[in-house]
Amino acid sequence: MRHGTTPVNPTPPAHCPRYLLPFDMATVRRVETDYLVIGSGNAGLRASMEVSDHGRVIVLSKENPNEGSTRYAQGGIAVVMNQGDRVEFHVQDTLSAGAGLCHPAAVQYMVADGILRVQELLDWGAQFDRDGADLKFGMEGAHRVRRVVHRGDATGEETQNVLVRRALDHPNVEVMEHTLAVDLLTADGVCRGALVTTQDGELIAIIAKATIVAAGGHGQVYGYTSNPAVATGDGIAMSFRAGAAVADMEFVQFHPTTLFLQGAPRFLISEAVRGEGAHLLNSRGERFMSAYDEREELAPRDIVARAILNEMDRTGMPCVYLDITHMSAGFLEERFPNIFETCRQYGLEIDRDAIPVQVAAHFAMGGVRTDMNAHTSVPGLFACGEVACTCAHGANRLASNSLLEGLVFGRRAGISAREYSSDEGASLPDVDALAHAPDVAAHASDASGLRKLLTQRMWEDVGVYRHAETLREALTTLSELPTAIGSGRDAIEYANMRLVGELIARAALERTESRGAHYRDDYPDTDDDRWLRNISLTRREDGGVELTTRNQGLS
Ligand code: FAD
Ligand code: SIN
């Protein structure tokens, strides 16, 4: 992937170490495999299915193989299967939500191939809601028609279960659960696998012909998030340290409606609830969305999220309310069983009570930069799913396009890894050629305290509303925090979150305009003349960060 690049305004970075832990290839235990897949969400599983007939596959999962964002997906999968819908419509809706920064070819491919990928899921036994023989389609924000296939509000669980059965039962596939990938191993700039800590705490080197990173998103970098605990941006951070370019990091999607109750997690209240007619009310009981966008509650997420924060500010209250009380308990319990039951556990009957909601970090549009075939800028390393930046989402993802992206580009990553490893040059490397890690300064510090400081700073200064001054303050704070603090999972996650936070803040400071999910108080307008471009960040050999911009569409 070579493109002309224009360096702009490089800002002095904090030092980014190449490896988080000291290790020596002469002594570390080695495991060899053909394919290494880091992550067992929908993207990683779909990728592993593409390679498992062609060699030994190791799939890593930080917790159990079911745990990850995929499992919690509620609304569903956007796909052109409804009568009257067309590929062009879905493409146009995606491009429009992406606010000028989508790569049109990636969108076209995702939408068209997505139909085959969802059909495949159905053929493998996925039970999505039907009306007789016909699939039911949900409505979500910024879609012009109903096109979201779902299983109640537990679409992710259904998808994950089908893929786990299908992918992990293969005799060539070994799942290493509760195993943490710490860093990618490279030799002469080529990815050769990863350094991981096993369930027993042993540090091992998995040497692979091809490595696919599918480690999900980074929601945990923010103080409030809809994401599960595993979403700490590890895949982005380790790829960046290994020399892979990351792109569009400034674009972080904040979901408008997560549960806001003392003692409750920021449980997602699906956009599909608004798709079924729920209204947003401020604390005075007034509907407000018409003042912000003619699509009202079904405007794109960035618009709804900002409107909610404005209303909270205007009324001086810490949340707004989502009201679906015009629907019967019977309908709600059937259509949204998890939401119905979870709210009930916290004392809310959603057919009678409006639900207190607030915004929370939800999805990473940016990530490890890939071309249309999931190649990263590091040979031997492929990326797919939320960890990747295919540019299919641009500056703001259209609702329910993420599972679709994971299935489509997960498959592509598998195909590319297969092609790569069948090349002669990709035979298992002479492991002695792998570099020994230089000594890494490890500070014994309190990971949870550092994490709290970091995530609060990110929430306050690099959140929905941004400004040069606060972005600089955030960068100063981050640069004062240690870059590596030890070998436990908490310590590794903290180091990854700190690095990802810094990459988001740097890109957000650089983009002197507002577009999609990136809103600058000091630059409230969209500036197409200057900023119809993607920002890429790469680690330099000396540990610094190189920032470049390139014309919209990365492939
Ligand atoms: P994940 O499913 O998050 O899987 C990541 C995997 O990587 C996990 O197995 C994890 O253990 C592993 N991992 C991470 N770090 C490491 C490491 N260091 N070492 C080893 N393993 C590691 N999208 C939609 O399209 N429709 C929806 O309805 C929808 N609803 C959502 C609801 C919620 C609450 C959330 C949080 C997200 C939702 N999304 C939805 C977004 C979508 O679910 C995710 O973007 C998508 O599932 C990501 O899939 P993935 O395979 O890339 O990552
Ligand atoms: C939701 O159900 O609101 C989440 C859908 C998504 O993130 O795409």
The predicted-structure confidence for 140-159, as pLDDT tens digits, reads as follows: 999 999 999 999 999 999 99
**Residues 383, 368: contact at Cβ < 8 Å?**
yes
pLDDT score recorded for residue 424: 53
Of 329, 384, 400, 408, whose CA–CA distance to 151 is shortest? 400
Residues at CB less than 6 angstroms from ligand 2? 74-75, 270-272, 363, 399-400, 402
Cβ(69) – ligand 1 distance below 6 Å = yes
Residue 115 shares a structural domain with residue 246: yes
Distance, CA 189 to ligand 2 centroid (Å)?
A: 37
pLDDT score recorded for residue 15: 79
Q: How far apart are CA 196 and CA 514, in angstroms?
A: 39
Is 541 inside any structural domain? no
Residue 548: half-sphere exposure toward Cβ, Cα within 13 Å: 16
Give the DSSP H/E element, type plus range, for residue 506.
helix 489-510
Please write the tens of the pLDDT for every residue from 318-333. Answer: 999 999 999 999 999 9
Give the DSSP H/E element, type plus range, for residue 315.
helix 301-315
Ligand 1 atom closest to residue 268's alpha carbon, by position in its atom list: 34
Which residue in the list 301, 335, 369, 466 is annotated as catalytic? 301
Cβ(44) – ligand 1 distance below 6 Å = yes
pLDDT score recorded for residue 10: 41
Distance, CA 68 to ligand 1 centroid (Å)?
A: 5
Mean pLDDT of 8-21: 70
Q: How far apart are CA 96 and CA 98, in angstroms?
A: 5
Indicate the SS3 state at residue 476.
helix
Residue 240 shares a structural domain with residue 194: yes
Banded pLDDT at 243 (limits 50, 70, 90): very high
Which token pair is 503?
A: 């990459």
Question: How many domains is the chain partitioned into structurally?
Answer: 3
Which token pair is 234?
A: 């590890």
Banded pLDDT at 551 (limits 50, 70, 90): confident
Is 6 inside any structural domain? no
Banded pLDDT at 185 (limits 50, 70, 90): very high
Ligand 1 atom closest to residue 45's alpha carbon, by position in its atom list: 51
pLDDT score recorded for residue 387: 98
Q: How far apart are CA 100 and CA 95, in angstroms?
A: 7
Residue 303 shares a structural domain with residue 163: no
CATH of the domain at 115: 3.50.50.60
Which token pair is 459?
A: 């929430």
Q: How far separated are the first and last CA of the chain, in Å rounded?
A: 8
Distance, CA 258 to ligand 2 centroid (Å)?
A: 11
Query: Which residue puts its alpha carbon closest to atom 1 of ligand 2?
Result: 270
Cβ(37) – ligand 1 distance below 6 Å = no
Please write the tens of the pLDDT for every residue from 414-437. Answer: 999 999 998 755 567 777 777 777
Query: Which residue puts its alpha carbon closest to atom 18 of ligand 1?
Result: 181
Point out the ligand nearest to the CA of residue 409: 1
Point out the ligand nearest to the CA of residue 405: 1
Considering the chain, what is the average pLDDT of its residues? Answer: 94
Residue 300 shares a structural domain with residue 396: no
Mean pLDDT of 31-36: 96
**Quick one: residue 380, left, alpha or beta (phi over 0 = left, psi -120 to 50 = alpha)?**
left
Residue 339 shares a structural domain with residue 308: yes
Angle at CA of residue 82, ends 77 and 83, nearest 5°: 170
Residue 204 shares a structural domain with residue 269: no
Which token pair is 185?
A: 């191993």
Mean pLDDT of 15-26: 90
Is 386 inside any structural domain? yes
CATH of the domain at 315: 3.90.700.10
Banded pLDDT at 444 (limits 50, 70, 90): low
Phi, psi of 450 (to 5 degrees): -65, -40
Q: How far apart are CA 15 and CA 111, in angstroms?
A: 40
Cβ(67) – ligand 1 distance below 6 Å = yes
Residue 203 shares a structural domain with residue 78: yes
Please write the tens of the pLDDT for every residue from 295-314. Answer: 999 999 999 999 999 999 99
Query: Which residue puts its alpha carbon closest to atom 8 of ligand 2?
Result: 400
Q: Where are the alpha helices (DSSP H) in 98-225?
A: 104-123, 155-168
Q: How far apart are CA 246 and CA 535, in angstroms?
A: 8
- 9 has pLDDT over 80: no
Q: Is 425 exposed, middle or buried (0-12, 13-18, 19+ CB in 10 A)?
A: exposed
pLDDT score recorded for residue 336: 97
Is 534 inside any structural domain? no
- Angle of helix 155-168 relative to helix 42-51, nearest 10 degrees? 20
Q: How far apart are CA 289 and CA 304, in angstroms?
A: 7
Is 63 inside any structural domain? yes
Residue 425: half-sphere exposure toward Cβ, Cα within 13 Å: 9
Cβ(227) – ligand 1 distance below 6 Å = yes
Ligand 1 atom closest to residue 496's alpha carbon, by position in its atom list: 18
Choose the residue to mutate in 402, 407, 494, 500 for probing ligand 1, maximizing ligand atoms within 8 Å of C-beta.
Answer: 402
Which residues, including other chains, have CB under 8 Å from residue 302's CB and lie 6 or more apart? 253, 254, 396, 516, 517, 519
Distance, CA 527 to ligand 2 centroid (Å)?
A: 28
- 3 has pLDDT over 50: no
Distance, CA 405 to ligand 2 centroid (Å)?
A: 13
Is 61 inside any structural domain? yes
Active site (annotated) includes residue 301: yes
Q: How far apart are CA 414 and CA 37, in angstroms?
A: 9
Domain that holds residue 356: 255-361
pLDDT score recorded for residue 433: 75
CATH of the domain at 485: 1.20.58.100
